[in-house]
Structure 1
Amino acid sequence: MKLISIVVPAGGALSNIEFPRQVFTEINDYLVSQGKAPIFKIQFVGVSKSIQLNDGLFTIQTDFTIKEAQQSDLIIIPAVYGDMAEQVKNNHELIQWMKEQYIKGAELASLCVGAFLLAGTGLLNGRKCVTHWKAANEFRSMYPDVNLVVDKIIIDEAGIYSSSGGISFLNLIVYLVEKYAGKDTAIYCAKFFQVDADRHTQSIFSIFQGQKDHNDEPVKQAQIYIENNFQQKITVDQLAGMLAVGKRSLERRFKKATANTLNEYTQRVKIEAAKKHLEMSSKKITDIMYEVGYSDTKTFRTSFKMVTGLLPKEYRSKYNRVHQM
């Protein structure tokens, strides 16, 4: 039997705590209905016996404190609300316990922005991780030594798992069910909880938010210029001359400050504008292409799919309700 510890952090998100318990409990019930033994033992673990969540709106009684809990096979790390740096500080004891558990053989799985607590262990340094797309810039700022992969739903890295945002944590839970209980059981799990287990990217859901939480003023000016003039052809030489900064220096500083090259940033701004048009208007796709600064259909389609995972026509079909009527 696998011992699963769902940690209850200070500031934790109730849904990320309770829903995994429901899933693993349902899998046990399913296995029993098939004449098999249950495979999971599930427990809530925290620094204390009683922990308040959602600004005191809910209270969870843990089964064990971190001083009482046995060695776990798998630790589920839920999302937390509020200021991430503050929450990492508030959960220092829990984070240290999770690190010790991993060193002794436990696997760790973070859900959504629970990745901030996971990264606080230091175990992700030099490794890949994913979190909610909206938290990507803050995560990079806090944990520059972690290889954040923004477009994936699940990352599996040496017994350390992470999932993207929102209810995508269910994809990771199904993935873990398959690992521990087999493919057939995972298929049942996906069907029972109606999870699209074939979805592998969160790119379709992401909204590009250029990283401006830095102190490099010329880079901020370049970002603002790109965002206001993306319909035009913008070159690195042009920006460097405008800002009186050397080309190589600007490229290096821009990448360091925003985690994007100048060309990547410009492309993301263009694609974000195209997405808005596709969501809200009935304009022809070729007209939208020209409006956002592309002149070649193949290039536009390729760039759009690289960023969103869908072709422009597919994206419109999914998100433009007026167009569907």
Structure 2
Amino acid sequence: MHTVAVLAMPDTIAFDLSTPVEVFGRVRLPGDRPGYRVLVCATEPVVTAGPLRLAADHGLDALTRADTIVVPGRNDPSAPIPEAVLDALRDASAAGTRLVSICVGAFTLAATGLLDGRRATTHWAATDRFRTAFPAVVLDPDVLYVDIGQIVTSAGATAGVDMCLHLVHRDHGAAVAADAARLTVAPLHRNGGQAQFVRRNLPGGAATTLGQILDWIEENAHRDLTLDDMAGRAAMSIRTLNRRFHEQTGQTPVRWLNAVRVRRAQELLETTDHGIDRIAHQVGFASPTNFRSQFKRASGVTPRAYRSAFRHI
């Protein structure tokens, strides 16, 4: 039987810890046989998990018996990691064990060096910290999970469910995975990635010397603005404006403007019944076609799919 070991370190995120326990623990094969044996392996006799205190039945030594090791996130992903944990993960990788992270558990995997030069993901809100800490990792912040074979990383919270169901499909096939999805009351595969959950270019979100022009764009994004308009308002040449934006926001002025418009559109899709074409014009896009294209590029889903997912949240 496939053994899944869930690693419990101090200050583990309780949701991340419980996700693999529940998803893998409920998988049933033909004849009602369990699909997995799930162990919780703690670094200490009692570890914290948010407001919970967890006494696990297994220590780090049990990781050697695992076919898959799941590393949940911790509330402070930058907290020191016991060297014994890093050594155990490296040894498991060398032995061919599958390593999996949920949310900011990717920080723990990255600290082993096993993600260097490889594609991975983590919670979108932690991407800047992750890139700073682990510049050698090829980070993809827009997807729900990344499967590169022996190592699988997932984005935050419920993306861990998506990833676990993906692994059930990989291990036992579509029929077993579909049953697991029904038990979890979750889709077997969600459209889009975590980009649809990201709030981009929030007001006050960029501590830059471009503050006045950013505020002006925020107030006037619904207008038919051009790069000339923005450069004129900032009293800069277009070349200087482009350079300042790239240095201080990592984006071009036009991309920043489109992100502001997309965020406004997300708000309208969530809170109104306005038609897609009307929203396109309300937020400043020249045409509904351009709006749909820019919205899909920024969020990973169509405006209609976004409204379906978020209208009643």
User: TM-score, length-normalised on structure 2?
Assistant: 0.83
Q: Does 1:76 align with 2:70?
A: yes
Residue by residue over 1:290-313, the C-alpha shift from the partner in whole angstroms, topping out at 9 and shown as x without a partner, is: 332211221112212222344334
Retained in 1: the 8 A contact 2:67–2:98? yes
Structural RMSD (CA): 3.2
**Which amino acid in 2 is paired with 1:84?**
P
The structural deviation recorded for 1:243 is: 6.8
The structural deviation recorded for 1:176 is: 1.0
SS at match of 1:208: coil
Residue number among 185, 190, 193 corresponding to 2:184 in the alignment: 193
For 1:195 and 1:120, the matched residues in 2 are separated by: 31
Q: Does 1:46 align with 2:42?
A: yes
Unaligned residue ranges in structure 1 (runs of 5+): none
Q: Does 1:202 align with 2:186?
A: no
Residue equivalent to 1:24:
24
Retained in 2: the 8 A contact 1:10–1:90? no
Deviates more, 1:267-276 or 1:250-259: 250-259
Number of aligned residue pairs: 311
Retained in 2: the 8 A contact 1:2–1:73? yes
Q: Does 1:265 align with 2:256?
A: yes
Residue equivalent to 1:107:
98
The structural deviation recorded for 1:112 is: 1.8
SS at match of 1:108: strand
The structural deviation recorded for 1:284 is: 4.6
SS at match of 2:23: helix
For 1:273 and 1:132, the matched residues in 2 are separated by: 23
Retained in 1: the 8 A contact 2:228–2:238? no
Q: Give the 3 Å change call, closer, same or farther, for CA 37–192 of structure 1 in structure 2.
A: closer
Retained in 1: the 8 A contact 2:71–2:100? yes
For 2:62 and 2:311, the matched residues in 1 are separated by: 53
Identity %: 25
Retained in 2: the 8 A contact 1:52–1:58? yes
SS at match of 2:158: helix
Q: Give the 3 Å change call, closer, same or farther, for CA 239–65 of structure 1 in structure 2.
A: farther
**Which amino acid in 2 is paired with 1:235?**
L
SS at match of 2:26: helix
Q: How does 1:1-325 map to 2 (within 5 A)?
A: 1-27=1-27, 30-31=28-29, 34-35=30-31, 38-54=34-50, 57-67=51-61, 69-81=63-75, 83-85=76-78, 87=79, 89-200=80-191, 201-209=193-201, 217-218=208-209, 223-232=214-223, 233-235=225-227, 238-239=230-231, 242=234, 247=239, 251=242, 254-255=245-246, 258-321=249-312
Residue by residue over 1:13-46, the C-alpha shift from the partner in whole angstroms, topping out at 9 and shown as x without a partner, is: 122222312222222xx23xx3376443322223
**Which amino acid in 2 is paired with 1:22?**
E
SS at match of 1:70: helix
For 2:119 and 2:104, the matched residues in 1 are separated by: 15
The structural deviation recorded for 1:211 is: 11
Retained in 1: the 8 A contact 2:165–2:180? yes
SS at match of 2:4: strand
Unaligned residue ranges in structure 2 (runs of 5+): none
Greater relative CO (CA pairs within 8 A, separation 6+): 2
For 1:135 and 1:72, the matched residues in 2 are separated by: 28
For 1:71 and 1:254, the matched residues in 2 are separated by: 52
Residue by residue over 1:187-244, the C-alpha shift from the partner in whole angstroms, topping out at 9 and shown as x without a partner, is: 21112212211214233333225698887x4466665554344334242895499375
For 1:246 and 1:204, the matched residues in 2 are separated by: 31
**Which amino acid in 2 is paired with 1:5?**
A
Retained in 1: the 8 A contact 2:9–2:44? no
